Chain A
Amino acid sequence: MNFEVINMIFALPEMFMLAMACVILLVVAYLGKNSANLAYGLSQFTLVATAFLIYRSLGDAGFTFDGTYIKDAFSDVLKLAIVIINVAVLLYSTHYLKARGLFKGEYYVLAIFSTLGMMIMVSANHFLTIYLGLELMSLCMYAMVAMHRDSKTATEAAMKYFVLGAIASGMLLYGMSIIYGVTGSLELTTIASTIQTGNLDNTVLSFGLVFLVIGIGFKLGAVPFHMWLPDVYHGAPTAVTLFIATTPKIAAFAMAIRILVDGLGDVHQHWQGMLIMLSVLSMIIGNVVAIAQTNLKRMLAYSTISHIGFILLGILSGSQEGYAASLFYALVYSLMSLGGFGMIILLSRQGFEADKIDDYKGLHERNPWYALMMLILMFSMAGIPPLVGFYAKLTVIKSIIDVNLVSLAIVAVLMSVIGAFYYLRIIKVMYFDKAEQNTALEAPTDMRIMISVNALTVLALGLFPGALLAVCGAVFL
C-alpha cells in the first residue's frame, strides 16, 4: 500500500480557522451570556491571523488531501478577499447587534464557521469538497437569519432561505451525481481530463450540467432562481443581510468557476447558452424591478441580482480575460455591497432601521460626509467613472465584445442605464430633498472610520484600478 504524506501546509489557514472556531465555540458555551465581547475579539483575531497566514503562503500552489483540495492563485486571492471583507462585516454588524440586544457569542461562532465553509468552497477540487463547504456556509447562514427569533419577518425569511437553499443543494447534488455517472469521477481535474479525452455521452453530460447550473444559479441568486433573495435580504436583520450579501457571493462565484471552468471548461459551448439566459434575465429583472422598490434593502437585493447578471457575463465569455473580469466584478461588488449595507447599519438605531428610501431624505443636510460616502457607493454601483464600479462593468463588457457577443453587450449597457435610475433616486433623496427628521446621527468612531475607508477605497480603486485588475488577470494566466 502506498501511503502519501498529506501536505497539510496547503490547508493551514483553514485548519487554523477551524481550531479557532472550536475555541470560540467553547468560550461561548462556557461563558454563556458574557461571552459576546470575547467572542467578537477572538473572531476578529482569527480573521486577521488567517489573512496573515494566507498572505504568508502566497505563491505556493498544489493539491492536497488526495487531490480533493487545491491551493492556487485563484484560491489565495478569493480567500484573502473573503477574510478581509468579513473583518469589516463583523465590525459593522457588531454595532447593529449591540443596539438591538442581539449581541451574542453565537453570531460570531456561526460567522466564523460560515467563513470556513466559504474558504473550503474556494479551494475545492472535488464535488464532495464543494458540497461540504457549501453546506457548512449555508447552514450557518440559515441560522443567522433566524437569530432574531422574535421577529416574524426574520423567521419567515429564514424559513424561505432554508427550504429554497435545500432545494438548490439537492439540484446541485443531483447534477454532480449525473456528471459522476458520465465521467466516473468526482474530482474536477479528472473530470476535465476525461471530458477532454473520452467520447462521452453529450446528452447525459448536458443533462447533468443543467442541474449544476441551476444549483449555481440558486446560490448566486440569478433569475429565475432569485426568488429567495429579496425576501431574505429584506427580512433578515441588517447585520445578517450584510453578511449574506457580501462574501457568500464571492464563494458562490468561486464554486461557479471551479465547476464550470476547472471541471467542465471543455463543454463551454453547452453551458454558455444557459448562462446567457440567466445573465440577461438577471440584468433585466434585477434592474427593472429595483426601480419599483421603496425599501433600500430590497432595492439593493434586486441590484445584487443585476450585478450577478454582469458577473455571469464574464464567466460565459469563456475567455481567460472574461474570468478575470468577472472575478474583478465579484470582488468589487462585495466591496460596494459592504458599503451599502454598512451605511444602512450606520444610520440605523434601536427602533429605526433606516431601510426605507425615504429615511435618507436630506441626509446631505444632516451629515454631508455620510451623504458623500453614500453618493460614492451609489455612483459606483451605477457604474459611473471614476469609481471602481465602472471598471467592473467595463472589463466585463470588454471581455464579451472580444468574443464577438456584441448584442449581449448592448443589452448590458442598456440595462446599466436603467439601473442608473434607481441609484440616482437615492442620491436625489439625499441631496435634493429636505430632511424630515433632525435627530443627531451618532455612530461609534470605528464605524465612521470603516465606512469612510470603505467608500474611499471604492474611489481610490476607481482612480487606480490597475493593480487589482492586474492581480485578477494574473490569477487566470
Chain B
Amino acid sequence: MFTDLPLLSVLIWFPVLGGIAVLVNGDNNSFARPLSLLISVLTLVLSIGLYIGFDNTTHQMQFAEHASWISVFDINYSLGIDGFSMPLIILTAFSTVIVVVAGWEVIKDRVSQYMAAFLIMEGLMIAVFASLDAILFYVFFEAMLIPLFLVIGIWGGPNRVYATIKFFLYTLFGSVFLLLALLYLHHVSGSFSILDFHDVSLTMQEQIYLFLAFLIAFAVKVPMWPVHTWLPDAHVEAPTGGSVILAAITLKIGGYGLIRFALPITPDASMALDWLVIGLSLTAVVYIGFVALAQSDLKKLIAYSSIAHMGFVTLGLFIVFRIFANSSTGSGAVLAVEGAMVQMISHGFIAAAMFLSVGVLYDRMHTREISAYGGVINTMPVFGGFAVFFAMANAGLPGTSGFVGEFMVILAAYQANFWYAFLAATTLILGAAYTLWMVKRVMFGEVANDNVAQLKDINQREFWMLASLAIIVLAIGLWPAPLTEIMHASVEHLLTQVSESKL
C-alpha cells in the first residue's frame, strides 16, 4: 500500500516544509510549539516505516529514488539507504522530537524560529544520510551548517558569537577538501554517484590525497583530536537543543562519512594510513579522557567525553586492517565495525540525555559550574535517578547501550593488537572516573547551598523526555541484536570492499 510512497523524500521535505510553515506562522499565536511537535512526531512515525520495510538480508540500497537534478553535470537527486544510514535517520528523527520537547518552556524568545531551525535541520540531516549523489550529499552536508550556526549564535550563551563562527569556519574548512575530493573523483570516474565512486580504481598516490581530504573533512566533524577544539566551545555556548543535535547527529555525520567515503573509495590508503587514525583515536580516548577529568564546567566535561567516545568509533572502523592482517576469518572485523556503529547510535542517545540533564539543571540554576552544585539528589530525587543512570551509561556500565559498543570495539581491538585493546580499555576507568566524580560532586553529599535547596524536581514534560531516552539506552544495552542485524549485511559488504585492493 505504501510501496509507491517516496518515503525518503517525504522524510526530508516534510520537516523542511513544516519548518517553513512554523516560521511563517510566527510568534503571534501559540501554535509554534504544538505544530513543531506534531511535525517532528509525524516524521518520527514515518521514519519507523523505514525500519518496518527494511530488508536485512541485502546490502543493496533500499527505498531508492532517482531523478535528474542538474542534467548538464549529470548530478542526480538520488536517494537510498542501507544498514548504516537507516538507524542514523531514525536517530535523527527521534532526536528532533526530543529537542522540540526540550525547548518547550525553556525557549521564550523567537520560539517559531527556534523550532523551525531544528525542523529544517532535521530534513537536511536526514538528506545527508540518504544521499547517494556526491554533490547532493555535499549540498546538504553544508546547508546543515546554516541553521546550526544561527541556533548557536542567537540562542546561545554569552560567548556564543565566537563559538558559532569558530564552529562554522572549522567545519567549512574541513568540508572544502571534501568538495575537492568529490570533484576529483568525478574527474576520474565521470560520474557523481557515490556508488560509482566505490568502484573506480585509483593509484596509491591518488588514494592517499583523497583519503587525507576525506579525513580532514570528517575528522573535523567527528571530531578527532587535534581538530576537536571547536566542539567544547560550541557545546558550552549552544542552547540545550543545539547541544543535543550537535552531539547526537552532527558528530555522527563524521563517522558516517568515513564509512561511506573514506573506507570504500580509498581502501588501500586507509590501510596504509590506518596507524594515523588509530593513533589519533587512541589519543582521543586516553588524552581527552584526562582532559575531561579536569573540567569544571558540566557541558565542557560532557563535550570532552563525547570526543573520547567518538574515538571508539574511528578506532573500530580502522582496526579492521590490522585484524585482517592477523587472522584470515575476519570475524573480528565485523565486530569492530558493528561496534563502531552501535557506539555511534548509543552515543547519540546517551550524549543527548546527558546534555538534556545538564539543561534541566541549567534552566533552574543558570550555571554550569560543577562547584555551584552539590546534593542535588536530595531536592530532585526523580531527576537524580535519571541523571545517575545516564552517567552510568556514559561510563559504560554493562546493561546500558554505552557498554555494548565500547565492549565490541575493545574485543575486536584485542584481535588487532593487545596494546590497542589495553589503551582503549582505559576508557572504562577514565570514563568512570570523570563521570562518576562529576555525579558525586553534583548529585550526592549535603545540599550545598540555598539555590540547590530550593530546586524543584522535574515536571511531566522533562520526565517523559528523559524516560524515553532511558528506555532506549536500556533496551539497546540489554538486547542490541535488532540493531546489529539491520547493519550486518552492509557491514559485511563494506568489509569486502575494504579488503579488495583498488590498485
Contacts and interface: CB of A to CB of B under 8 A. Distances in A.
Interface string A423-450: 0110110011000000000000000000
Interface in B126-157: 135, 138-140, 142-143, 145-146, 149-150, 153-154
Contacts of B140: 385
A410 to B, nearest CB: 7
Nearest to B138: A385
A420 B145 CA distance: 12
A249 interface: no
A385 B135 CA distance: 10
Contacts of A410: 180
Given A414-B176, A470-B72, A432 B187 contact: no
Contacts of A432: 153-154, 160-161, 164
A420 B113 CA distance: 23
The prevalent SS among residues of B at the interface is helix
Interface stretch (A88-96, A228-236, A270-278, A398-406): A398-406
A417 B183 contact: no
B17 interface: no
B16 to A, nearest CB: 11
Interface in B155-183: 160-161, 164-165, 168-169, 172-173, 176-177, 179-180, 183
Nearest to A368: B113
Interface in B237-292: none
B2 interface: no
A420 B169 contact: yes
B72 A424 contact: no
Nearest to A399: B183
A402 B187 contact: yes
A413 B142 CA distance: 14
A421 B165 contact: yes
Contacts of B161: 428, 432
A386 interface: yes
B139 A385 contact: yes
Contacts of B145: 384
Nearest to A413: B176
A424 B167 CA distance: 12
A87 B180 CA distance: 37
B153 A398 contact: no
A424 B71 CA distance: 32
Contacts of A390: 139, 142
Nearest to B213: A410
Contacts of A420: 168-169, 172
B109 to A, nearest CB: 10
A469 B184 contact: no
Contacts of A368: 113
A416 B175 CA distance: 12
A38 interface: no
A397 B187 CA distance: 11
Nearest to B124: A386
B173 A417 contact: yes
A417 B139 contact: no
B143 A385 contact: yes
B146 A384 contact: yes
A394 B135 contact: yes
B5 interface: no
A473 B153 contact: no
B333 to A, nearest CB: 33
A67 interface: no
A422 B308 CA distance: 33
Nearest to A432: B153
A394 B139 CA distance: 11
A466 interface: yes
A384 to B, nearest CB: 6
A467 B70 CA distance: 8
A370 to B, nearest CB: 15
A421 B149 CA distance: 13
Interface string A378-391: 01000011100011
A431 B154 contact: yes
A49 interface: no
B419 interface: no
Contacts of B165: 421, 424-425, 428
A265 interface: no
Contact of A431 (B69, B138, B150): B150
Contacts of B168: 420, 424
B186 interface: yes
A379 B146 contact: yes
A192 B180 CA distance: 35
A466 B187 contact: no
Contacts of B160: 432
A341 B424 CA distance: 56
Nearest to B150: A431
Lowest 7 CB-CB distances: which A-B pairs, in order? A413-B176, A385-B139, A466-B70, A432-B153, A401-B183, A469-B72, A385-B142
27 contacts: A368-B113, A384-B146, A385-B143, A386-B143, A390-B142, A397-B180, A398-B73, A398-B187, A413-B180, A414-B176, A417-B169, A417-B172, A417-B173, A420-B168, A420-B169, A421-B169, A424-B149, A424-B165, A424-B169, A428-B153, A431-B154, A432-B160, A432-B164, A466-B69, A469-B72, A469-B73, A470-B72
Given A384-B142, A417-B176, A469-B72, 10 more contacts: A386-B139, A391-B70, A398-B183, A401-B184, A416-B176, A420-B168, A420-B169, A425-B165, A466-B72, A470-B71
